[in-house]
Structure 1
């Protein structure tokens, strides 16, 4: 049976009325994001109001073999929202209820369309917060789907650690809960971790149960400059190995600092810089700062410049979150090609040094930033969209970075995911384990309707029946 997308769209229109749109503008919007990859618009976009709406839509799409792509806020970077084979995009933004909060248990359940900022606003009076901060105001469902992390991951972990359970609509419309609210379980396969990071290729997440963290008694934020990028990274590695519980440890190279100064109206010294944050009691933060100051001094770090007032901390971290837009402003008319890798922390100084040599050798402009506390760093490579040779050199840079990561036991992506952009690199990373991934995909999505063309090319392993 071939795909029958027009028939599926007609049936969806009957069921959902004005919740379904075939407007060219809306379809185009749902194919656009910060990705540098060419994307494809869906044939229609659905705005469900409930899990039952998603169940009904997926059931219809399964019947007609119509592809389904989940959409949160469109902030993914590797083409995850592209409707490679047309079909239906399900925009979950209207499913934005905080279902429940349990301060005593430090957990909550939210619908997939709730954004991280909206969740923290809802938690404001509970003494708790949701610590995952990828920069963009992403949706919780999208963050689970891409296994997001961000600036707080060095202390609080990633979505893998903080997601307790999911409500998922499978490819045939069945609804499952993957776990419970228990803090640990030995009951069968870990289905929750299977769907966290699956990028919508196995099912659509409609609700997420999350661990929360207490708001710390004291938060201290500071910047510290270093003579070289390698010295800054080495300082963080030493701090991590010394068990200093850094809440955030972010590296910006000199070019990225210059961009942030211009874009965010800062006056930071144009040198490799660490953005640091410490959480805990008054005494604990004082102790952490003392230990970190000693380590920074050992590696040539300058005086800590503190942001003590809440508004100053907010401005500082907003500048860190705006590095993408700041980088683009360095070269008006350019496009950004984002990429990231993650390596064991002991390997990070050397890998970053070699990557910076590659950038210079390939004559590219590529500001660097990174969550160096957990071995993850990013480049925003600026490209002239009309320069084919420059595009070729960027591909070469990405290939070298990822090969180097693999050589030291790292991964082709720490948090951006695979999407369409890194499928070949995933094959190089997983090898024969790709057969197991393909088997899981075939078992849960036998008609290949869930975000087809992402993460892996199932047909490379066994054709669908």
Structure 2
């Protein structure tokens, strides 16, 4: 979406002024209106301009959230949920002003049910905090979007990441949520049972709703047993097509790969320089296998055979944790590594997802666009599910570069949709991809609008996101 389309919405100044006074009286120091804090709570890792809320509430419990929502609902004041601020499409902006409800202090791990492989957490718990807590239990939570995001935010944006090819996305790993609706009512969408056919699937409705239907105050998550053995490594390929073919063969042969990440030659160059990797700057796959000692070794060897047939390899893998950690840290540091390709530039990340059979075509044509526009833009991908990210390195002080980036993103999304894909595999719609959602789903967006109006008739819950009303 072009910057000119990211417009402010009409403000309810009288209602906001009244609500600010009541919230301050009710919550004291937990409610702040200082400009620096408000700026932090409109921060987005994108070129979309920040739109500040009028105040920030640091909620400490679901009762705090409920009380604040009731006040805002009475005075028709917008509410913007906030976790850790890693939104990539303007999802925490306040286009009509209002109140940011920060749930980062709601960070209790309420229960871990070892026998049932699930846990109940508050939304401010981060994925790293949860896995640190679980370490001695023999369990772990597999969804890894890279950033140490809050689990509430990950649920609200239907996040995924490097493990999605084996363990799925947030929609596959959330059993239930507790949420406060726009009228202040608190609901729980399901019990802890692993499956249910009881009524509408309200859990899935809340997962991916980006804070537009309510504020998530508690989440019940599936957990996994820590594998007996893990192997991981990097495999170079002569061409991008060969690397993607290896991904397709790996999945078709039923290899239970846990991670299979693609980086193009430019991204690999940046990672080599930043992380000191001993590889050549060619397209590479980063892989990880989970299972038994014998099983993961056999899987690694079988993948090496696949790679060799396609002219790739050798697949350098290891079961030593320190060596694997170094490789995956390099992969997770890809953003910081990329900034070194153009010092002083800002990295603008965008993503699409296509059927795996079209992944090589989509990336190849995208690389041609990058060359045509004269951009510096490395590519990484969750190749196992056809999702890839482009990091555009631009000078935000030059309007012509913003315009060029917008044109590039438009082409990228049009291409993905034409190939049967989606405009976002995991970043969400927010403000930045509203136009492309309409192109992708057409009349289905009207159904979403109908749901939104029925639950939030005054449009106070994260307004101006996903679609216009």
Q: How does 1:297-308 map to 2 (within 5 A)?
A: 297-308=308-319
Cross-structure match for 1:431: 442
Q: Does 1:88 align with 2:99?
A: yes
What is the TM-score when the length of structure 2 is the normalising length?
0.96
- Give 1:463's aligned residue: none
Tell me the residue number matched to 1:286. Answer: 297
Q: Residue 73 of structure 1 aligns with which residue? A: 84
Q: Of 381, 389, 394, which aligns to 1:383?
A: 394
After TM superposition, list the pairs within 5 Å mapping 1:180-195 onto structure 2: 180-195=191-206
Give 1:231 shift: 1.2
1:10 Cα offset (Å): 0.6
Hey, what's the Cα distance between the residues in 2 that align with 1:225 and 1:115?
A: 33
Query: Is the contact between residue 126 and residue 149 of structure 2 (CA under 8 Å) also seen in structure 1?
Result: yes
Matches of 2:315 and 2:135 in 1, distance apart? 30
Instruction: For residues 92-136 of structure 1, give each alpha carbon's deviation from its aligned partner in whole angstroms, at most 9, with x where no partner exists.
Output: 010000000001000000000000000001101111100000000
2:272 paired with 1:267: no
Query: d(CA) in 1 for partners of 2:89 and 2:333?
Result: 19
Q: Distance in 2 between matches of 1:404 and 1:441?
A: 29
Aligned to 1:331: 342
Question: How far is the alpha carbon of 1:405 from its aligned partner?
Answer: 1.2
For 2:358 and 2:270, locate their aligned partners in 1 and report how far apart those are by CA, in whole Å.
27
Query: Is 1:357 equivalent to 2:368 in the alignment?
Result: yes
Say whether 1:449 aligns with 2:449: no
Q: Distance in 2 between matches of 1:87 and 1:384?
A: 31
Stretch moving more, 350-359 or 66-75: 350-359
Q: Given that residues 62 and 171 in structure 1 are in contact (C-alpha distance below 8 angstroms), is that contact kept between their aligned partners in structure 2?
A: yes
Task: Name the counterpart of 2:171.
Answer: 160
Judge conservation of contact 1:36–1:338 (CA < 8 Å) in 2.
no
Query: How far is 1:387 from its partner?
Result: 2.6
Secondary structure of residue in 2 paired with 1:210: strand
> Residue 2 of structure 1: CA displacement?
4.8
Partner in structure 2 of residue 58 of structure 1: 69
Superposed displacement of residue 86, structure 1: 0.9
Shift of 1:329: 2.1
Q: How far did 1:307 drift? A: 3.7
1:164-210 deviations in Å (ceiling 9; x for gaps): 00000000100000111111111000000001001000000011000
Question: Could you say what secondary structure the match of 2:218 adopts?
Answer: strand
Q: What is the 5 A alignment of 1:83-122?
A: 83-122=94-133
**Correspondent of 1:408 among 412, 419, 443:** 419
2: CA distance, partners of 1:334 / 1:69: 29
Note closer, same or farther for the CA distance 1:452–1:112 as it changes in structure 2 (3 Å cut). same
Provide the C-alpha distance between the structure 1 equivalents of 2:338 and 2:209, rounded to a whole number of angstroms.
Answer: 29
Residue 442 of structure 2: SS of its match in structure 1?
A: helix
3-state SS in 2 of match to 1:409: coil
- Partners of 2:338 and 2:371 in 1: CA distance: 17
Distance 1:227 1:266 in 2: 18
For the residue of structure 2 that corresponds to 1:220, the secondary structure is strand
Q: Aligned partners of 1:300 and 1:84: how far apart in 2?
A: 52
C-alpha separation in 2, matches of 1:39 and 1:290: 49
1:131 paired with 2:137, answer: no
Tell me the distance in 2 between the aligned counterparts of 1:44 and 1:251: 42
For the Cα contact (< 8 Å) 1:230–1:352, is it kept in 2? no
1:401-448 superposed Cα distances (whole Å, 9 cap, x missing partner): 111111121100000000000000000011011110100110111110
> Which residue matches 2:222?
211
CA contact (8 A) 2:83 2:150 kept: yes
Say which of 282, 287, 293 aligns to 1:276. 287
SS of residue matched to 1:263:
helix
Q: Distance between the aligned counterparts of 1:74 and 1:315, measured in 2?
A: 26
Distance 1:125 1:362 in 2: 51
Q: CA deviation at 1:333?
A: 1.3
TM-score w.r.t. the length of structure 1 is 0.97
CA contact (8 A) 2:12 2:77 kept: no
C-alpha displacement of 1:61: 0.4
Equivalences, count: 458
Counterpart-to-counterpart distance in 2, 1:298 and 1:353: 21
Question: 1:295 maps to which residue?
Answer: 306
The 8 Å contact of residues 45 and 91 in structure 1, kept in 2 or not, is answered as yes
Judge which range, 110-119 or 17-26, deviates more: 17-26
Residue 49 of structure 2, aligned match among 38, 44, 62: 38
Q: Secondary structure at the match of 1:123?
A: helix
In the alignment, structure 1 segments of 5+ residues that lack a partner are: 459-465
Tell me the alpha carbon deviations over residues 303-331 of structure 1, each in whole angstroms, 9 at most, x when there is no partner: 11224321221121111111111112211
**Counterpart pick for 2:184 among 173, 195, 203:** 173
Match of 1:249 among 257, 260, 265: 260
Residue of structure 1 equivalent to 2:160: 149
